Structure 1
Amino acid sequence: MGWDLKLDNKHDLAVGTDQDLMLVGGAQRIRQQITVTLLTFLGEWFLDQSWGMPYFEKIMVKAPSRVEIENLVRAKVRDVPGVKAVPAVDIQIDALARRARITLPDIETDEGPLTVSVIQ
């Protein structure tokens, strides 16, 4: 299904001991691309202002619609190459801290089931 530049746990480019960039494929690539998708704010990427999650517009607002958020998350994650289905979305919103934890258990992918959780 392809390869992607590997990111470390701080979301910076991963560099090997020989100072070469590292690649990631398979289930790790899918997990990484889902994580990047969920951590990117709408309009954050200067080359495509329409890409990203509408956190300020739809999620971190007063009285957000849980159904609308779940549908947005499902749609964005389904756009990741290799993702077949997103059967469940668990969202925990901390309105006071303006943070959300999004957990996607048992995402169906070309590489088998994956679970991804991010805090935004």
Structure 2
Amino acid sequence: MRYRKQDANGDFIWGHQQNDFWLNTPDGVAQAVKTRLLLFVGEWFLDVTDGTPWTTQVLDKYTKDQYDAAIQDRILGTPGVVQITSYSSSVNTSTRVLTVTASINTQYGQTTLSTTI
């Protein structure tokens, strides 16, 4: 799996030739998971059915069980992910931020990722 690296702002990294890519590493798979989680359904014009169902299953009151299942499905559907070994999510209602933390086994090794949405 070859995946272009992103900086802390989510922008692609350029100008370092092969060092701009993750190549068959758990970190590349973790970045792919984060990218997939941040994609809303209908946002990608080439496949409007792809994406995380934020507006239909996640962003509402009393939907924790539903959104945890949807997020875990997106993680497991990422190329290179073998299994989720641990998962947690928490919502800060005052800042309206969802934090997702997961440890995953990939075909290249184990990694942990944490992302805020």
**Does structure 1 retain, via aligned residues, the 8 Å contact 2:57–2:70?**
no
Q: 1:112 aligns with which of 99, 109, 116?
A: 109
**Does structure 2 retain, via aligned residues, the 8 Å contact 1:99–1:119?**
yes
Quote the offset at 1:92 in angstroms: 0.6
5+ unaligned residues in a row in structure 1: which ranges?
none
Q: 1:77 aligns with which of 55, 71, 75?
A: 75
Quote the offset at 1:96 in angstroms: 4.1
Runs (4+) of structure 1 exceeding 4 A deviation are none
Partner SS for 2:72? helix
Which residue matches 2:28?
A: 29
CA distance in structure 1 between the partners assigned to 2:81 and 2:4 by the alignment = 18
Which residue matches 1:62?
A: 61
Output the amino acid matched with 1:88: S
**Does structure 2 retain, via aligned residues, the 8 Å contact 1:94–1:100?**
yes
Output the amino acid matched with 1:86: I
Quote the offset at 1:21 in angstroms: 8.6
**Does structure 2 retain, via aligned residues, the 8 Å contact 1:78–1:84?**
yes
CA distance in structure 2 between the partners assigned to 1:28 and 1:108 by the alignment = 11
Against the structure 1 CA distance between its residues 60 and 94, is the aligned structure 2 distance closer, same or farther, given a 3 Å change threshold? Answer: farther
5+ unaligned residues in a row in structure 2: which ranges?
none
CA distance in structure 2 between the partners assigned to 1:70 and 1:98 by the alignment = 16
Quote the offset at 1:102 in angstroms: 0.7
How many residues are paired up? 116
Output the amino acid matched with 2:109: G
- Once the two structures are superposed, what CA deviation does each residue of 1:2-42 show, in whole Å capped at 9, x if it has no partner? 21222222111101257x99222222210110110112222
Which residue matches 1:92?
A: 90
**Does structure 2 retain, via aligned residues, the 8 Å contact 1:58–1:69?**
yes
- Once the two structures are superposed, what CA deviation does each residue of 1:39-95 show, in whole Å capped at 9, x if it has no partner? 22222222211111111211110221x222221112111111111111322111123
